[in-house]
Amino acid sequence: MRALALLLALAPLTGCGDEPPAQAPRAPAPPAAGQLAAPPPIVLITLDTIRREHLSCYGYFRATTPRLDAFAAESLVFERALASMASTLPSHLTLLTGLYPHQHGMTSNRRGASVPFTSEVGRLSAAAVLAQCGYRTAAFVSASPLSLTTGIQTGFQHYSYRERSAAARQRAGDTNALVFEWLERHAAEPGPLFLWVHYFDTHEPNEPPPPYDTRYQTDERQRQWIRERGIDPAALEQRYSRSSSARRHFLRNPPEAARDEGKSGKLRVTLDSVAELMNRYDGSLSYLDENLGALFDALRRHGLYHEALIVVVGDHGQSLGENTWLGHGTITNVNTFVPLLLRLPDSLAMAPQRSATLVSLTDVMPTLLARFELPNSELLSGQFEGEDVLSGAFARDFALTERTADAPKDGESGRQFALLSGAWKYIHRPEGQDELYDLAAGGEFVDVLAQHPEVGARLRAETLTLLARRPALLEEARGEVDARLIEQLEDLGYGGGDDEGPDEPSDD
């Protein structure tokens, strides 16, 4: 009977369909989960720059993620999880603090080079609190936006980042080697473990190693999928025609563009140019998935898999042409909706299932820590903006995302926030014009604020209330800026460049 129940529960996982629809009627609350008798191992796995749309367990037409799909078949899969910002450092601090960026204070990647995060009352890092409560804490990160300069390592007794390396990133296989070596030496030590592993492979410029670099080839099914997403190659060509960064990080290899550049120096973008970029992205994703599976295998070998709280989550998404954009950093859905999968310990006996409830990355740590008693954690639980989504009484119907505080280069200026509630998406610009979108009808392309002023007024009031709740005092840069970190961030595409025009994006 138990096997039959599991089969029935898993059945919906095999047919995800394409991108989850906007929720017109409110989705049922996620199920209630019980509590554990003792603090369990906690494993946080973050996938940087991950397109939810390209995961086969979220409905992609290609089989890109067989190991993650198998994990999804054992997990709670959240179909509408919203990142707090489409930027690496702020989003990860949201995961560790349960706060939005305007509350924990780190509002861009580049900010970490001058004003490092500090764990203090009101914006404590869960790593610091878990360490004080007897957890062994270890982190393995794969790219410079999470380097020691930023302060995100606070609370981790072991923090692995190749600070002396000139490279701004490392592949998943190299990160895994460090994780596996550490587990061999320390996994059996007494006390519960909080392990964070961060992968960066799906971040541009998407150069997967062989054989993943040729695993996916353009065909008519892929071309049709791109057309269905409304990607306009001509508009991309017009926007990025003077962008050296777009050539380096996204469109430097398309055959059509290369031939034309040799004649005229002008970047050419075609449907197949976009398809080739997505082929490289999918190759990077496939490589990441294999290494993710290797990590799962290592957790099993060391007895850390079946009774652990394991989270696999994206820090933000990535646009590969949607909204006439390459990269991340904006508040569009493709940039801010992320995969979120939670595997509960076997002893909690919760059947795998999917949830269409709108949740936020602010909810991840509150949900994990609500599953067990943790002495002296009141200060941490009291600071959370997020909630326990598995309480059985989760009723919040909104989530907030915001744009980097760094000056953008896409023709707009000033801060931007988006409050999602049901099928509505409200855009708030403190220094500009607000907008309202009906995601169930016109999507993100038809502003309906004039047609629904009462909805706009309600969501504006909710947005302003949330922004006024416990905001961090944003300090100015103190001391010297970490020039080396700035250089590495620019190498990854976070600002800078030699011949960038005013339309060049910045995805800080």
Checking if the pLDDT of 69 tops 80, the result is yes
Domain that holds residue 313: 2-16+39-209+274-394+476-490
Check: CB of residue 160 under 8 Å from CB of residue 178: yes
Determine if the peptide bond prior to 211 is cis (ω within 30°): yes
- DSSP readout, 388-416? -TTSS-----EEEEE--SSPPSSS--S--
DSSP state letter for 148: G
Answer whether residue 299 is part of any domain: yes
Answer whether residue 417 is part of any domain: no
HSE at residue 496, side-chain half, CA atoms within 13 A, is: 14
Greater pLDDT, 152 or 414: 152
Checking if the pLDDT of 481 tops 80, the result is no
- CATH number of the domain that 71 lies in? 3.40.720.10
The three-class DSSP label of residue 78 is strand
Closest CA to 320 of 282, 268, 270, 277: 277
- DSSP readout, 294-324? HHHHHHHHTT-STTSEEEEEES---EESGGG
DSSP state letter for 106: -
Could you give the CA distance from residue 495 to residue 407 in angstroms, rounded to a whole number?
Answer: 9
Answer whether residue 484 is part of any domain: yes
- Least confident residue range of 1-10, 161-170, 226-235, 463-472: 1-10
Could you give the CA distance from residue 390 to residue 367 in angstroms, rounded to a whole number?
Answer: 6
Checking if the pLDDT of 7 tops 70, the result is no
**Tokens representing 449?**
């604020």
76-82 and 337-343 strand pairing: antiparallel
Answer whether residue 332 is part of any domain: yes
Percentage of the chain exceeding pLDDT 70: 83
Strands (E) located in 317-448: 319-320, 326-327, 337-343, 353-360, 398-402, 417-421, 424-428, 435-438
Could you give the CA distance from residue 386 to residue 363 in angstroms, rounded to a whole number?
Answer: 4
Answer whether residue 432 is part of any domain: no
Greater pLDDT, 133 or 242: 133
**Tokens representing 254?**
């398309």
DSSP state letter for 136: E
Checking if the pLDDT of 121 tops 60, the result is yes
Closest CA to 194 of 142, 151, 129, 135: 135
Q: Residue 110: pLDDT band by 50, 70, 90 thresholds?
A: confident
Tell me how far the alpha carbon of residue 175 is from its chain's centroid: 18
Could you give the CA distance from residue 310 to residue 296 in angstroms, rounded to a whole number?
Answer: 10
Model pLDDT for residues 342-388, shown as the tens digit of each residue: 999 999 989 999 999 999 999 999 999 999 998 877 878 899 999 99
Q: Residue 3: pLDDT band by 50, 70, 90 thresholds?
A: very low
Q: What does the pLDDT read at residue 23?
A: 41
Q: What are phi and psi of 343, to 5 degrees?
A: -100, 120
pTM of the model: 0.89
Average of per-residue pLDDT across 424-447: 94
Answer whether residue 369 is part of any domain: yes
Domain count, the chain: 1
Give the C-alpha distances (Å, rounded to integers) separating 271 from 59, 245, 255, 310, 448. Answer: 22, 20, 12, 39, 31
Could you write out the three-class secondary structure of 490-504? HHCCCCCCCCCCCCC
Q: How far apart are the first and last CA of the chain?
A: 51
**What does the buried/exposed string (b/e) look like for 69-105 if buried means 16 or more CB atoms within 10 Å of the residue's CB?**
bebbebbbbbbbbbbbbbbbbbbbbbbbbbbbbbbbb
List, in sequence order, the alpha helices (H) in 406-492. Answer: 453-468, 483-491
Answer whether residue 437 is part of any domain: no
Checking if the pLDDT of 14 tops 80, the result is no
**Tokens representing 57?**
């367990």
Checking if the pLDDT of 44 tops 60, the result is yes
Checking if the pLDDT of 112 tops 50, the result is yes
Check: CB of residue 406 under 8 Å from CB of residue 495: yes
Check: CB of residue 121 under 8 Å from CB of residue 435: no
Sign of CA dihedral 315, 321, 326, 330: negative
Q: What does the pLDDT read at residue 263?
A: 52
Percentage of the chain exceeding pLDDT 90: 71
**Tokens representing 352?**
């795998």
Could you give the CA distance from residue 19 to residue 174 in angstroms, rounded to a whole number?
Answer: 32
Sheet with strand 337-343: strands edge to edge: 158-160, 136-140, 193-199, 42-47, 309-314, 337-343, 76-82, 353-360
Amino acid identity of residue 204, one-letter, is E
Q: What does the pLDDT read at residue 453?
A: 97
Q: Residue 436: pLDDT band by 50, 70, 90 thresholds?
A: very high
Q: Residue 449: pLDDT band by 50, 70, 90 thresholds?
A: very high
- Residue located via tokens 């898999």: 305
